Amino acid sequence: DVMEYARDGIHLCLNRIDNVVDECCRNGHGFSRRQEPKKILFECGHRPQDAIFEIDDGEVECDQEFVLDRVIIDTTCLKRPIVKIEFSSLVAFEAEDEEGAEHEVEVDLLFKLIRNCNGTEETLQTWRYLKEFDVENNIDELEVEISEPFTVTFCDRACPGCCEYKIVVTGRDFEGEFEFLRVVKPDLSALAIGLCDD
């Protein structure tokens, strides 16, 4: 005789005879269970923070790094879990170049997806955001103001367990005199399913 219920978003089965909780309803205690739709886990990021780059007299300061968002997902109850990570944000900046016959504005950012499972941190994927404006004709100045989405997705075949994923942005190279540079409205989410779940 089996009783099924949900606790903390995890589907559990309780064998009333042995009074044993069988996570994920594994068929290891001599009882069978009915066919059910596959379990899908979904988690949203829980600490989003805008990246506001420090600017000193028009120059973006070197070696700035920001954690934009992080999400924790527990796939312990899934067999051969696959986790899909989705991230979206807005990159916004305003810059100009008034010097010389050639004018250039450039923003070069590196986004990293980092996974931490059981204290082991690993960079899973990197994406580059590069925006360049070069003008060689005789104009007085080049002014650029941009606000555009930056979105990425990634599928991770991780071992079952509780892992944290985070998105980090780092400034790489900049040209021009900046009024501001920001990565805003970060949103990170994780969706997981077991490939071998019944």
Alpha helix stretches (DSSP H) within the chain? none
On whether both 44 and 31 belong to a single domain, the answer is no
On whether both 106 and 61 belong to a single domain, the answer is yes
What pLDDT, in 10s, does the model give residues 24-65?
Answer: 444 444 444 555 677 899 999 998 999 999 999 999 999 999
Residues in the chain: 198
On whether both 48 and 82 belong to a single domain, the answer is yes
Domain total for the chain?
Answer: 2
On whether both 17 and 66 belong to a single domain, the answer is no
On whether both 141 and 53 belong to a single domain, the answer is yes
Distance of alpha carbon 156 from alpha carbon 83, whole angstroms: 5
Sequence-ordered list of residues with C-beta below 8 angstroms from that of 20, at least 6 positions apart, any chain: 14, 29
- Which residue bears the tokens 């596959």? 38
Helix (H) / strand (E) containing 185: strand 177-194
What pLDDT, in 10s, does the model give residues 141-193?
Answer: 789 999 999 999 999 998 899 999 999 999 999 999 999 999 999 999 999 99
On whether both 62 and 159 belong to a single domain, the answer is yes
On whether both 101 and 179 belong to a single domain, the answer is yes
pTM value?
0.78
Structural domain including 84 reads 40-194
CATH number at residue 179: 2.60.120
Asked if residue 7 has pLDDT above 90, the reply is no
Distance of alpha carbon 51 from alpha carbon 55, whole angstroms: 12
On whether both 94 and 25 belong to a single domain, the answer is no
On whether both 76 and 92 belong to a single domain, the answer is yes
Asked if residue 69 has pLDDT above 70, the reply is yes
On whether both 100 and 156 belong to a single domain, the answer is yes
On whether both 25 and 48 belong to a single domain, the answer is no
Q: How high is the pLDDT of residue 173?
A: 95
Sequence-ordered list of residues with C-beta below 8 angstroms from that of 179, at least 6 positions apart, any chain: 55, 58, 93, 94, 95, 96
Structure tokens given for 40? 């899908």
25: helix, strand or coil? coil
Of 107, 91, 109, 94, nearest to 183 by C-alpha is 91
On whether both 121 and 53 belong to a single domain, the answer is yes
Calculate the average pLDDT of the chain.
84
Q: How high is the pLDDT of residue 117?
A: 93
Q: How high is the pLDDT of residue 140?
A: 75
Q: Phi first, then psi: what are they for 11, rounded to 5°?
A: -80, 130
